[in-house]
Amino acid sequence: MPSRRQFLQLVGGAGLVLAGCRKQAGEGAAAEGPHPEPANAPSVKAERVVVVRDPSAVKGTEVSADKAAALVERAMAELSPAGQAKAAWQALFRPTDVVAIKVNCLAGPPLSSHPEVVRAVVRGLRDSVGIPASSIIVYDRLGEELAAAGFTRESVGECTIVGNDEAGYDDEPTTIGSAGSCYSRVISQQATAIVNVPLLKDHDLAGLSGALKNHFGSIHNPNKMHTDHCTPYVADVNCAPFLREKHRLVVYDALLACYEGGPSCKPGTTASYGAVMVAVDPVAADAVAFRLIETLRKEHGLPPITGSERAPRYIRVAADAEHRLGIADLGKIDLRELVRS
């Protein structure tokens, strides 16, 4: 099992550097949507989004680890035509994969991806697929933010925890459309597969801080990508070839849901929602997430974001003919919503 120092030496090694760090991607590079490499198991439903909710999974800001794990297990089972979580995990990952789990710790506790959810993901990768903990990397922008959110080797099952400030970024940028960024070496040079664990939260500029925007935490210059309400930058960033090719799964942490004032933690407008949402398609996941945010806003007497300047237009852009990152039309999404009692 590699130490953090060994991991940093590994991602910095010359043998892992991709040929041609400076990349230009035009129409051809964005011609296909997400295609997880199939393993020896029934395929998952690419257009399916599953929301499983158990209001008792979180009380205030206190999360039940057992109930969070049960939510992930049930959601993954619903993602597979076989109705089994193990089949879904095996359809998306191989035992030889090195898996990067992108969490979001920007707002600090309690509005960060929860270790309890990530531990359930690690358990699925380990127990259902056979991926050892030494091949699983939990990462985000800063090591200190990960630590503040409770991410330790013990809290998530002995896998590597590393911030981009330690792992480093590519030496030269990848340029896609309007976005030119150096990406975290965790995803560009080390991982073969990516699990995205975003939060269900409002964003004061972009309307939604979800799966697609979570990868602003995978680049060195997200501050340069916030003009025009982050459009088309969010979509362009997600079109990096290695990110598109390695993306496998979105596991939305919706145990808490911030429906106004994000991306910072706003306790007055953060609800104990108690849900987990899973999908293969990050665009479809974000389309459903935005609908959930709008529903929460209506329940709390707030006006809709739809129609305002900060409506998340990047979701539609990500689904357009140039980007083709997934499905944005709710009418074409196979949405499964379950409530556990």
**Quick one: CA dihedral 261, 264, 267, 273, positive or negative?**
positive
Work out the pLDDT band at 43, boundaries 50, 70, 90. Answer: confident
Q: What is the pLDDT of residue 41?
A: 42
Q: What is the pLDDT of residue 340?
A: 82
Task: Of 218, 221, 198, give the one whose Cα is nearest residue 292.
Answer: 198
pTM over 0.85: yes
Q: What percent of the chain has pLDDT over 90?
A: 85
pLDDT at 19 over 80: no
Contacts of residue 265, Cβ cutoff 8 Å, sequence gap at least 6: 107, 108, 109, 110, 111, 258
Q: What is the pLDDT of residue 4?
A: 40
* φ, ψ of residue 206 in degrees (nearest 5): -100, -5
pLDDT at 155 over 70: yes
User: Helix, strand or coil for residue 102?
Assistant: strand
Domain boundaries, the chain: 4-12+42-339
Q: What is the pLDDT of residue 341?
A: 62
- Fold classification of 4-12+42-339 is Rossmann fold (3.40.50)
Q: Which of 15-29, 167-181, 189-203, 278-292 has the lowest mean pLDDT?
A: 15-29
